[in-house]
Amino acid sequence: MKNNLMGKNKKNILLVANYKSDVGYAWWLMENFWATIAGSFDACGRKAVLLYPEVNVVPEKIVKAKIKVIEHDLSNRSFKSLSCLYRIINENDIGYVYLTDRPYCDWLYLILRVFGIKKIVNHDHLPGERSHLKAIKNFIKSILHRFKFMSCDYYIGVSEFIKKRFVEVAGIPEKKCEFVHNGIRIFDNEKTDYVNRMFGIPEGATIIVSTGRAVFYKGIDTLIDVAGEMARKKNREHVYFLYVGDGSDIDTFKTMVVERGLSSRFIFAGYRRDVSRILPSCDIGIQVSHGEAFSLSLIEYLCAGLVTLAPRHCGNGEAIDDGRNGLLFTPGDVAEIVEKIAFVLDHEEEARRLAGEARRTAVEKFSLEACNERFIALLRQQFI
């Protein structure tokens, strides 16, 4: 059967970025989704147009996908900006819009429908838990979503946790919601001494790694507290912490490490492009964030065959089955985290079992190919 998202509909699709074209980190996954959508549309003679609020260097994946790139900030609601958006929609024969991490309700959606947009899909990756709505607010939001005045047609979350948030917190009808777990490119997890050589860590050391943006929301201060507690334990001199990433709070974290006398045991690697080589050289992967929708870092730890630790909240339990392929802990509980690490260090056979199950989980459930297949299948339901 011909790969056809659109059927007989002649309209094209508008993809919307929330950041400059040269921003990195986890935005590679968004580029993957855009390229996947563009490929499906192109196969049936349709086109994809991508809006960036600012265009600098266009990612190679976007260039290869033959996506038309336009500089326009969808967050700008001025009359001039809306007039420009109207021209973009009409000149490019746009009938559908794919958004990422946009508000669940927005008067802009009504404007888009006035401009001729038939369907709007919102893909939500935003982290954190939300308070449940009071009855009256829930009723009002459910009405808005039911009649589409300021609502999208379909909402895709990156985890079941996000899907529940759509329904229970945002008041979106469940029939308008679904989820697709994020995926990663599966990489080789052969154990090497790459990290030891790169960062001068002694051979035979146990290396605990964490990756991501260096900001307080990611819980790096908690990780430093854990490192401090481990340094005070007897027979733990062989334990080293490696943090891979950069961000606005990195200097504060470095100061904390120095002040606590951990400079030789807590290493900042900075932003790296060789994470797929770094992770298999480590032993334990830990995520200490205050709340992730569905953590790519966790999936990477699993893929690397690391014993993986994460807080027991948000979407983490959808990747880690506590005690089977990893260990969950109470968010922010330093003593419990130290206890979990000690358990891993003292039970080598159990650690090997957890690591093996971690790798198996990543390969079987969270490959990028499987993610893309499920993702595009959902969009076919909306864009036919």
Residue 13 confidence class, pLDDT cut points 50, 70, 90: very high
CA angle 69, 74, 78 (to 5 degrees): 125
Q: Which pLDDT does position 322 carry in this prediction?
A: 97
| pLDDT average, residue stretch 348-370 | 97
Do 327 and 320 contact (CB within 8 A), yes or no?
yes
Residue-level pLDDT at 383: 77
User: Residue 370 pLDDT > 50, yes or no?
Assistant: yes
Instruction: Give the C-alpha separation, 151 to 172, whole Å.
Output: 9
pLDDT at 105: 92
- What pLDDT is stored for residue 127 in this prediction? 83
CA angle 264, 355, 186 (to 5 degrees): 95
- pLDDT tens-place string over residues 93-143: 999 999 999 999 999 999 999 999 999 999 999 887 655 555 556 656 666
Query: How confident is the prediction for the chain on average, in pLDDT?
Result: 92
Residue 26's pLDDT band, with cuts at 50, 70 and 90, is low
Q: Give the pLDDT score at 5.
A: 47
Over residues 7-24, mean pLDDT: 80
As a whole number, mean pLDDT of residues 206-216 equals 96
* pLDDT the model gives residue 22: 86
pLDDT of res. 144: 67
The answer to whether 245 and 271 are in contact (CB under 8 A) is yes
pLDDT at res. 381: 83
Q: How far apart are CA 325 and CA 305, in angstroms?
A: 10
Q: Residue 1: its pLDDT value, please?
A: 35
Q: Which amino acid makes up residue 111?
A: I
| For range 48-60, the mean pLDDT | 95
Mean pLDDT value across residues 315-319: 96
Beta-carbon contacts of residue 104 (< 8 Å; ≥ 6 apart):
122, 141, 145, 151, 152, 155, 166, 170, 172
pLDDT score, position 6: 43
User: Mean pLDDT throughout 231-252?
Assistant: 95
Residue 280 near residue 190, CB atoms below 8 Å: yes
Rounded percentage of the chain residues whose pLDDT exceeds 70: 91
Q: Lowest mean pLDDT of 75-79, 145-149, 177-181, 278-282, name the range.
A: 145-149
How far is the C-alpha of 211 from the C-alpha of 168, rounded, in Å?
A: 31
Say how many CA atoms lie within 13 Å of 316 toward its Cβ.
Answer: 26
What is residue 129's predicted lDDT score, i.e. its pLDDT? Answer: 64
In this predicted structure, the answer to whether residue 335 has a pLDDT above a threshold of 60 is: yes
Angstrom distance (rounded) from CA 138 to CA 153: 18
Instruction: Give the pLDDT band (50/70/90) at residue 7.
Output: very low
| pLDDT score at 166 | 93
Q: What confidence score (pLDDT) does residue 380 get?
A: 86
Ranking 9-23, 114-128, 210-224, 316-330 by mean pLDDT, the lowest is 9-23
